[in-house]
Amino acid sequence: MFIRPRKTNIHIHVQGPQDGPPVLLLHSLGTNHHVWDPQAEVLARRFRVIRPDMRGHGLSEAPPGPYGMEDLADDAFAVLDALGVGRCFVGGVSIGGMIAQTMALKAPHRVGGLVLVDTSMATAVPAMWRERAGQVRASSVAPFADAITARWVTQGFADSPEMQGLRTMLHQTAAEGFAGCAEALATADLSARVGDIAAPSLVIVGDQDQSTPVAAAQALCAALKGTLVVLPDAAHIPNLEQPARLADTMLRFLSAQSS
């Protein structure tokens, strides 16, 4: 389905029982809602799983950037509003995890719990994201695809069919959408406020993640007073590299919170 909040067309995929506890899943920069396919298949047996394509990604429109993390959070709330969802669990990988944190800070009454995958409270190298935004906006994501995807999975997974699927998602991402979201990353720093989040939180990180390493996940988990799980043999996007482990970890947490 599609909605058009704030003059931007947003694509949404919904599955699972209508009366199941709602779970909003937010994808990473340069992918789309399909990055959550393995986990959604498992969660949808019990939960109502809602997966939007972030602006400028998948089938969603790319308005002119730059964007801010608040813009992306407002898009997510608009999705929930369109579906009549007041309160839900929110999961996010990479930038999706930062959007999830922003949602919990902006409207804590609407976030019943957080699943934060390979993400952090702030971007370690904001200048790099500003530079990358300008480069992609001037051309496309194609010249930078190898450099971007090199950090997404472990070396042993680099030639897998799933990794090719991730590359395809990246190449299909609108240049303005990637650039605008990269600028949101460059300006985002939630570190002074994350401690105010009261929602139960699960922090998950791949043991080989170079972009948001285990130390960043530990710091985030400590600030949230949450639970930390380190996934073996996984890098920055474990959704397709360790699909079953990630799905099982999420299911156990969400089931405990919704019982």
* Six token digits for residue 252: 């156990």
Could you list the beta-strand ranges (E) of the chain.
2-3, 10-15, 22-26, 48-52, 88-93, 111-117, 201-206, 227-231
Q: Which residues contact 114 (CB under 8 A, 6 or more apart)?
A: 89, 90, 91, 100, 101, 104, 197, 199, 200, 201, 202, 224, 226
What per-residue confidence (pLDDT) applies to 95?
97
- Mean pLDDT, the chain, rounded, equals 95
Asked whether the predicted pLDDT for residue 259 surpasses 80, the reply is no
- What's the CA dihedral at 182, 186, 187, 193 to 10 degrees? 100
Name the burial class of residue 225, with classes exposed (0-12), middle (13-18) and buried (19+) by CB atoms within 10 angstroms of its CB.
Answer: exposed
Predicted confidence band at 243 (pLDDT cuts at 50, 70, 90)? very high
pLDDT of residue 171 exceeding 90, the answer is yes
Helices (H), 156-226: 161-171, 175-187, 214-224
- Whether 203 and 226 have beta carbons less than 8 Å apart is answered as yes
What pLDDT, on the 0 to 100 scale, is given for residue 5? 82
Yes or no: is domain 2-258 CATH 3.40.50.1820? Answer: yes
Q: Give the whole-angstrom CA distance, residue 123 versus residue 129.
A: 9
Predicted confidence (pLDDT) per residue in 97-154, tens digit: 999 999 999 999 999 999 999 999 998 888 989 999 999 999 889 999 998 998 999 9
Return the closest-CA partner of residue 57 out of 89, 23, 12, 14: 12
Q: pLDDT band at 222, cuts 50/70/90?
A: very high
- pLDDT the model gives residue 6: 77
Structure tokens of 81?
């509003």
| Secondary structure of residue 157 in the 3-state scheme | helix
pLDDT band at 230 (very low <50, low <70, confident <90, very high): very high
Q: How far apart (Å, rounded) are the C-alpha atoms in residues 129 and 185? A: 7
- Convert the pLDDT of each residue in 14-33 to its tens digit: 999 999 999 999 999 999 99
Going from N- to C-terminal start, the domains of the chain cover 2-258
